[in-house]
Structures are given as C-alpha cells and as structure tokens.
Amino acid sequence: MKIQKTEKLALDYGTDVYINTYVSSWSGNVELKFNDYSDDKSEHHLVMTLPLDKARALAKELTQDLENYEQEIAKKKEAENAEESS
C-alpha cells in the first residue's frame, strides 16, 4: 500500500474579484494576486508566485482554453440561428 499526502485548495471567486499581476525582473517570478470579499464582508486574499516559464505556460493554456470556449459558443449560436431560420 502506498500512502501519499495530498493538499487541495479550491477557491470560487465571484464577479467582484480583483486580480493583479506583477512580473519581477529581479527574481524572475510572476506574482498573481486575487482579492475578494465574502457576503459577510470578510476579505480573501490569494497570492501565487510562479517561475516565469510556468507563468508563460499558464498564460498559453488559459489563452487556448478561452479561444476554444469562444469557438464552442459561436458554434452553438450558429446552430441555434440555423435551427430558428429553418
């Protein structure tokens, strides 16, 4: 039997989330900051620091995922419009 420790952090931000990024030429890291407030007005801050190459990979994957999403939405809308005009 293999036992391993796993940690998971799941955050679900709403539309009011404030996002900030910073690329440090000194450290070669990228800092991502997410700030939001709960319904009870408590603050939630998340700071992620990534090496530059990992941040580039994240940006590339996010860009591709968003493009795929937009294409899928456009296809659905096109199908709906074709169905309505039939």
- pLDDT value of residue 14: 84
- pLDDT value of residue 37: 87
Contact 58/48 with Cβ under 8 angstroms?
A: no
- pLDDT value of residue 38: 82
- pLDDT value of residue 11: 86
Which domains can be identified in the chain, with CATH numbers?
A: 18-85 (3.10.450)
CA-based angle 40:46:48, to the nearest 5?
170
- pLDDT value of residue 75: 94
Rounded Cα distance, 86 and 32, in Å = 48
pLDDT per 10-residue tile (average), the chain, 86 residues: 90 90 95 91 91 97 98 93 81
- pLDDT value of residue 39: 83
